[in-house]
Amino acid sequence: MCGIFGYVGKRTDAGTIAIEGLKNLEYRGYDSWGIACTAGKELTVSKDIGPIGGIRSEDFSAPCSLAVAHTRWATHGGVTQRNAHPHLSEDGSIAVVHNGIVENYLELRRDLKEKGHTFQSETDTEVIPHLIEEELKKCGDFAEAVRNACLHFDGRYAILALHTGSNMLVAARTGSPLIVGVEKTDGVLNGYFIASDIPAFMKHTRIVQYLDDGEMVATDGKMIRFQDIKTGEVREKREISITYHIEQSQKGDFEHFMLKEIMDQKESVTRAVNQDEGEIRTIAEAILRAKGTFLVGCGTAAKACMAAEYFFSVVAEHHVNFAPASEFKLFHHFLKPESLLIVVSQSGETADVLEAMRIARDKGSKVLAIVNVEGSTIDREADYTLLINVGQERAVASTKALTGQLAVLLLIAYAMGERLKEGRTLLLETASTINDMLNPRFVERLEVLAAKIHKNENLFIIGKSWNYPMAMESAIKIQEVSYVHAEGFAGGELKHGPIALIEEGTPCIVLTGNDEALQDILSNAQELKARGAFIIGVGPTKFDIFDEWIKVPDAGSAQAILNIIPIQVLAYFLAVKRGKNPDMPRNLAKSVTVK
């Protein structure tokens, strides 16, 4: 959710570096932003509401070698300058930025007030620097004060604190991600970065150290020490060189990241399909052996899991169970050591998914992760990981990650049915058709359609089989970027309530494929049309019932991958036509690291 950035070292341009780092983290939060810098005992704080994107980094060029910065997605307290991070201690020597929730902050705040502390904001975060200040009075060591303060916190969090008195950065995490960047020149250490995501400091270094759950790190730019938060035990960490292409996270000639990432699917699906055959077969065998397999994800990833239920049923003739990650703890009674949990996440940091993994671990079950971000918490904590390799997503609305997830899950289903070669061929052919499909005329036609329907406040999508979860995903995409009230349904459920919402001219999208569900979904479309709906057909075949037809190639079992792409494009243009920023939808953040 929130973006965290910090630097300490030999550089004297830490303020400029921090602002640039925040801009690379803006997809994680854009309600407000803030920065605290120091070059000695003086602490300079700047913060404001709104996105960081338009702020000039050169305005923060005053000499500074220690800084923390933050871009916020509000949880506690409204979007105001006063609530923006960083927050300071009573004496002004400690600045803190924070991602997550301190669940017991009201109790801590009350105790601190009794000790004479005053608070300037409505946030849970502000108790952190005040409590660290109290602990520092007792022990005199800043890192130990942070550790002792963390022992009082309930909830999931990532904390980054600086102290002018010791010229130190100290970070701690439980549940929310933090990564250390190590900057060297010709093998000589220059300093350290600490951020919630690697792109924040990628311009400066590709050497990282991962901070695991329940750990903290302290550095003054010359030394670094990792510790267990609870015990204080010192931990050794490897320096890891990562491969990452900066151009993957740039917009290029596109106006928005969302459209750029939709177009990336011309190549990203192929990268997702190019998995090691031995690994895919090993996973397929593990699913077949397991006594109960569960698919878990949140939001868009959850719709990939729902589609996989159909993949495994139709292609592999094997039953799996799906549950939203936030609901999974209610199903723990069914888990055994022989069970398998498959978790799907773009970011690899989704709080509810991590909680599901811990529930499975407590039961002795194995965990397979399908993620996009190598080195993420889910990647590191899973027993086995498959990376979808689609490249970084910067837009909040997930697009290319979804099709990568679908491709990998369908490939596993074919391997379970001992048809891996057939599945790979189908998926590679499907990937190649995406390049042909996403041509200028296709995109322009969807823009024209968006212009035709963008004033409608209600829109409905129906599908059957694997097109049913894609109907639900279509609704998510349209809702989150254009704010149109959209709902996705299984076609056969219309008569059980939703059809009452259909009026003359209501846009209704019908997802189709040349499959066993085709006649049923066409019958459902006819029921909509009889009530005056404006029918938009998406599929390989045109039917008279369609008022508009968006042609996509015939992809057989991979039809869900192709059918969702024009809806992504339509959602994008609906947002633009309605004057919304599709990259930064209100109230949403890219990585949901709180439950």
Report the pLDDT averaged over residues 486-509.
Answer: 90
Whole-angstrom distance between the N-terminal and C-terminal Cα of the chain?
11
Is the confidence at residue 490, as pLDDT, over 60?
Answer: yes
Q: Give the domain CATH number at 264.
A: 3.40.50.10490
Query: Does one domain contain both 148 and 29?
Result: yes
Say whether both 191 and 265 belong to one domain. Answer: no
> What average pLDDT does this structure show over 430-458?
95
Q: How confident is the model at residue 100 (pLDDT cuts 50, 70, 90)?
A: confident
435 or 564, greater pLDDT: 564
Residues 141 and 70 in one domain: yes
Instruction: Report the domain count for the chain.
Output: 3
Whether 475 has a pLDDT exceeding 70, the answer reads yes
Please, where are the H alpha helices in 77-120? Answer: 105-114
Q: Does the pLDDT of residue 27 top 70, yes or no?
A: no
The pLDDT assigned to 155 comes to: 87
Q: Do 493 and 562 lie in a common domain? A: yes
CATH number of the domain residue 199 falls in: 3.60.20.10
Residue 260 has pLDDT above 90, yes or no: yes
- Give residue 242's pLDDT: 79
Q: When comparing pLDDT for 287 and 249, which is higher?
A: 287
Q: Do 314 and 332 have their domain in common?
A: yes
Query: With 70 as the cut, is the pLDDT of residue 265 above it?
Result: yes
pLDDT of residue 177: 83
Q: Do 535 and 489 fall into the same domain?
A: yes
Of 2, 150, 298, 305, which one is the catalytic site residue?
2
**Which residues does residue 331 pair with via DSSP β-bridges, in sequence order?**
none
Q: Indicate whether 104 and 25 sit together in one domain.
A: yes
**pLDDT value, residue 184:** 94
Of 207, 229, 244, the domain-final residue: 244
Of 414, 438, 462, the residue at which a domain comes to its end is: 438
Distance CA 58, CA 426 (A): 51
Task: Give yes or no: residues 314 and 231 share one domain.
Answer: no
449 and 412, same structural domain? Answer: no
Q: Report H helices in 92-182.
A: 105-114, 127-139, 142-150
Give the pLDDT of residue 392.
86
With 60 as the cut, is the pLDDT of residue 594 above it? Answer: no
User: Which pair of structure tokens corresponds to residue 39?
Assistant: 């070059």
Amino acid at 321: N
Whole-model pTM: value is 0.81
pLDDT above 70 as % of the chain: 96
Question: Could you tell me the CA-to-CA distances from 594 to 30, 305, 560 in Å, in that order?
Answer: 16, 21, 30
More confident site: 437 or 61: 437
E strands, 365-409, where?
A: 366-371, 384-387
What long-range pairs does 317-323 form, CB within 8 A, spacing at least 24? Answer: 317/417, 318/287, 318/288, 318/413, 318/416, 320/287, 320/293, 320/294, 320/295, 321/292, 321/293, 321/294, 321/295, 322/294, 322/295, 322/296, 323/294, 323/295, 323/296
- Average pLDDT (42-53) is 86
- What's the rounded Cα separation, in Å, for the pair 487 and 141? 55
Assess whether 381 and 485 both reside in one domain. Answer: no
SS3 content of the chain, % helix, strand, coil (to 5): 40, 25, 35
Q: What is the pLDDT of residues 567-577, one digit of tens each?
A: 999 999 999 99
Query: How confident is the model at residue 28, as a pLDDT?
Result: 61
DSSP string, 205-217: --EEEE--TTEEE
CA distances to 1, 206, 464, 520 from 524, rounded to whole Å, are 39, 53, 10, 6
What mean pLDDT value characterizes the chain? 92
Which residue(s) pair with 99 in the sheet? 158
| Region 569-593 average pLDDT | 84
Reference 441, options 569, 554, 528, 355; nearest CA is 569
Strand partners, 289: none
CA distances to 278, 407, 408 from 422, rounded to whole Å, are 15, 13, 14
Which residue stretches of 240-276 are H helix?
Answer: 257-263, 265-273
pLDDT reported for residue 87: 95
Q: Which of 180, 166, 184 is nearest to 220 (CA)?
A: 166
Kind and range of the H or E run holding 185: strand 179-185
**Would you give the DSSP letter of residue 372?**
S
**Smallest Cα–Cα separation from 90: which of 122, 137, 47?**
137
Separation in Å, CA 52 to CA 23, 26, 162, 252, 579: 6, 7, 21, 19, 20
Residue scoring higher pLDDT (459 or 495) = 459
Instruction: Give just the sign of the alpha carbon dihedral 185, 187, 189, 193.
Output: positive
Is the per-residue pLDDT at 589 higher than 70? no
- The string of pLDDT tens digits covering residues 282-335 is 999 999 999 999 999 999 999 999 999 999 999 999 999 999 999 999 988 899
**pLDDT top residue among 211 and 591:** 211
Report yes or no: 535 and 505 within 8 Å, Cβ to Cβ.
Answer: no
356 & 472 share domain: no
Tell me the mean pLDDT in the region 562-587: 94
Q: Which residues are paired to 71 by β-bridges? A: 3, 33
Helix residue ranges per DSSP H, 315-362: 351-362
Q: What is the pLDDT of residue 591?
A: 55
Q: State yes or no: is 37 an active-site residue.
A: no
Rg (CA), the chain: 25
Q: Is 2 a catalytic residue?
A: yes
Residue 41 belongs to domain spanning: 3-244
User: Which of 16-25, 162-171, 503-512, 547-556 has the weakest average pLDDT?
Assistant: 16-25
CB atoms closer than 10 angstroms to residue 569: 24
Using pLDDT thresholds of 50, 70 and 90, give the confidence band for residue 356: very high
Q: How many CB atoms neighbour CB 12 within 10 A?
A: 13
The pLDDT of residue 245: 55
What DSSP character marks residue 85? S
Model confidence at 592, in pLDDT bands (50, 70, 90)?
Answer: low
Q: Which candidate in 23, 400, 477, 590 is catalytic?
A: 590
Sheet with 507-511: list strands edge to edge.
Answer: 485-490, 458-463, 507-511, 534-539, 548-551
* 434 and 491 together in one domain: no
Output phi, psi for 85, to 5 deg: -90, 160
Final residue belonging to a domain, choices 244, 260, 295: 244
Residue 47: which of 22, 13, 75, 17 has the closest Cα? Answer: 22
Counting other chains too, the contacts that 180-186 makes at CB distance below 8 Å and 24 or more residues apart are 180/208, 180/209, 180/210, 180/211, 180/217, 180/219, 180/224, 180/237, 181/205, 181/207, 181/208, 182/207, 182/208, 182/209, 182/239, 183/9, 183/207
